[in-house]
Amino acid sequence: MTLELYHAEPVANSMKVLICLKEKGIDFVSHYVDLHRFEQHEPWFVAINPNGQVPALIHDGHVITESTVIMEYLDDVFPATALRPVDSVDRARMRILNKFIDETVMPSVSIHAWRRMVPRIVAHIGKEQWERLLARIPLKEQQDKWRAAAADAFPEQELAEATRRVGIAAERFERILARSPWLAGSNFSLADVNAYAHANMAPRLFPELMNARATPRWLDWIERMRARPGVSAAHAMPDRTDPRVRLAR
Amino acid sequence: MTLELYHAEPVANSMKVLICLKEKGIDFVSHYVDLHRFEQHEPWFVAINPNGQVPALIHDGHVITESTVIMEYLDDVFPATALRPVDSVDRARMRILNKFIDETVMPSVSIHAWRRMVPRIVAHIGKEQWERLLARIPLKEQQDKWRAAAADAFPEQELAEATRRVGIAAERFERILARSPWLAGSNFSLADVNAYAHANMAPRLFPELMNARATPRWLDWIERMRARPGVSAAHAMPDRTDPRVRLAR
């Protein structure tokens, strides 16, 4: 059995899979992909994932992509220390939340994070080289997103809509955590991993929406997440972000 | 055990769940929700699904929403006539495709279908009543979509991008069907159900992208899907679409 993970810093989509592996205590070969050098768009990596996105898991020669799918795959293949509820209704709740996080929370937090971070990354790259880097991004929608972020050209309306959606998420998570200790019931699950990976820094990015008064349960949940050995082991993975482009985390 | 499904015509998201129930031969109580009268936004239905969207499943008092999640739930709870691959790698492929269909195919086909259909629905509604109907739509993004569709105001760029994505899907499905008879391997699965429900009419909506020359395998797959008893039983569910607003299917 060989298990190899291509991943970046313990942040966002890479963090989801790193937390699952650490929570389950599964050994794996780590391959760091440097997003600040755009290694995810280099031919050697596109040969692994044609979409040019991390994380990508290789298990016994099979490539699995899409971080939410990788999480379910790991729980299918390594069922010990289950990360999905046994109860089917709770399992459905977990999947409903994962869809909401993937389709609403992740893009909304991401557009604001990119807006702050990408201009700093691109500041150190010449114009011609940047055009060459853009041209090799496999997904047109990702190409458009990088281009807009680098030029600080996300439409105001889009940024405002993303902020509104973060507010919806804050209310939804708070409401759920009033009923149960974890997002999909009485046990920690993949919904918690997904939400944490994309929104653990949200109180810093959106202090007006997530704070001790508006979302006390969410802040408490973040502390309980950080205290988990698997989560802190994921945080301890190497972070090679250039300090010039690092966001406070 | 009581199993109740709130659904509309056997089209799109409602069709996904109807096909699963018919393929599995599971009895259920059918509650028709008339989308042309906007019943999905009425208080009695919003009490069932706060998002005001069909389908919604009620199983022993538990409400399950999100058609892709409902499909997995039905396969969890009624494992006979499994609709998910046993092999974990194929199961991951199924989920990768379901994400692609939910996030890319469905919205891209939908914007073009809405553009053709919604103005015909709204033509029979007075302006004041229409504003009242819009105001009660729970999700702001759905409200925006209904408003834009009714006014035929989807930006040209957005429509063109949706068409481009349908083209990407056509190529991807064709490539997969060159390797295996069904979308997630050697057996029919939830990925086939999802793709069929959202794209079985795509060759009529996008004849330049899906046709006998460009996508022969896709057309053959549609015929094989239609020949399945579960799929044809789903098609035979009542269709109460007002003939004035019906799209050729």
Q: What is the DSSP string of B104-147?
A: IIHHHHHHHHHHHHHHHHHTTS-HHHHHHHHHT-SSHHHHHHHH
Residue B247 in any domain: the answer is: no
Whole-angstrom distance, CA of residue A75 vs CA of residue A187: 15
> Contact at 8 Å (CB) between A210 and A170?
yes
Per the structure block, which two tokens stand in for A125? 């790259």
| Domain CATH number, residue B68 | 3.40.30.10
Residue B234 in any domain: the answer is: no
The yes-or-no verdict on residue A247 having pLDDT over 90 is no
The yes-or-no verdict on residue B249 having pLDDT over 50 is no
Whole-angstrom distance, CA of residue B160 vs CA of residue B166: 10
ipTM above threshold 0.90:
yes
* pLDDT for B150: 96
pTM > 0.90: yes
Domain boundary among B45, B77, B109: B77
Instruction: Please give the mean pLDDT across all residues of chain B.
Output: 95
pLDDT-based confidence at residue A241 (cuts at 50, 70, 90) = confident
Q: Is B76 on the interface with A (CB under 8 A)?
A: yes
User: Is residue B97 located within the same domain as residue B30?
Assistant: no
| Domain CATH number, residue A215 | 1.20.1050.10
How many domains does chain B divide into?
Answer: 2
> Contact at 8 Å (CB) between B181 and B90?
no
The contacts of residue A158 (CB under 8 Å, 6+ apart) are A111
The yes-or-no verdict on residue B247 having pLDDT over 60 is no
Q: What percent of chain A stands above pLDDT 90?
A: 94
Mutation test of the interface with chain B: which of A1, A51, A59, A95, choosing the one with the most B Cβ atoms within 10 A? A95
| CB–CB contact B92 A70 (8 Å) | yes
Report how far apart, in Å, the C-alpha atoms of A161 and of each of A36, A148, A206 are. 27, 16, 13
pLDDT tens by residue, B124-179:
899 999 999 999 999 999 999 999 999 999 999 999 999 999 999 999 999 999 99
Burial class from Cβ neighbours inside 10 Å (0-12, 13-18, 19+) for residue A76 reads: middle
Domain that includes residue A73, residue range = 3-77
Half-sphere exposure of A159 (CA within 13 A, CB side): 14
* pLDDT for A44: 98
* pLDDT for B1: 72
Enumerate residues 86 to 105 of chain A having a beta carbon within 8 A of any beta carbon in chain B.
88-89, 91-92, 95-96, 99, 102-103
Whole-angstrom distance, CA of residue A149 vs CA of residue A143: 10
Whole-angstrom distance, CA of residue B249 vs CA of residue A221: 48
Enumerate residues 146 to 185 of chain A having a beta carbon within 8 A of any beta carbon in chain B.
164
Residue B222 in any domain: the answer is: yes
Residue B71 in any domain: the answer is: yes
pLDDT-based confidence at residue B240 (cuts at 50, 70, 90) = confident
Per the structure block, which two tokens stand in for A87? 């109860």
User: Is residue B95 located within the same domain as residue B69?
Assistant: no
Total count of residues recorded for chain A:
249
User: Is residue A70 located within the same domain as residue A190?
Assistant: no
- Closest residue to B64, CB basis, from A66, A70, A92: A92
Whole-angstrom distance, CA of residue A230 vs CA of residue A215: 24
Residue B38 sits at the vertex; the CA angle it makes with B36 and B44, to the nearest 5 degrees, is 140
> Contact at 8 Å (CB) between A37 and A242?
no
pLDDT tens by residue, B182-219:
999 999 999 999 999 999 999 999 999 999 999 999 99
Q: How many CB atoms lie within 10 A of CB B36?
A: 17
Domain boundary among A77, A102, A137: A77
Question: What's A36's DSSP letter?
Answer: G
- Closest residue to B72, CB basis, from A69, A95, A102: A95
* pLDDT for A248: 47
Domain boundary among A77, A100, A124: A77
pLDDT tens by residue, A168-220:
999 999 999 999 999 999 999 999 999 999 999 999 999 999 999 999 999 99
| CB–CB contact A96 B69 (8 Å) | yes
The yes-or-no verdict on residue B46 having pLDDT over 80 is yes
Whole-angstrom distance, CA of residue B198 vs CA of residue A196: 32
The yes-or-no verdict on residue B245 having pLDDT over 70 is no
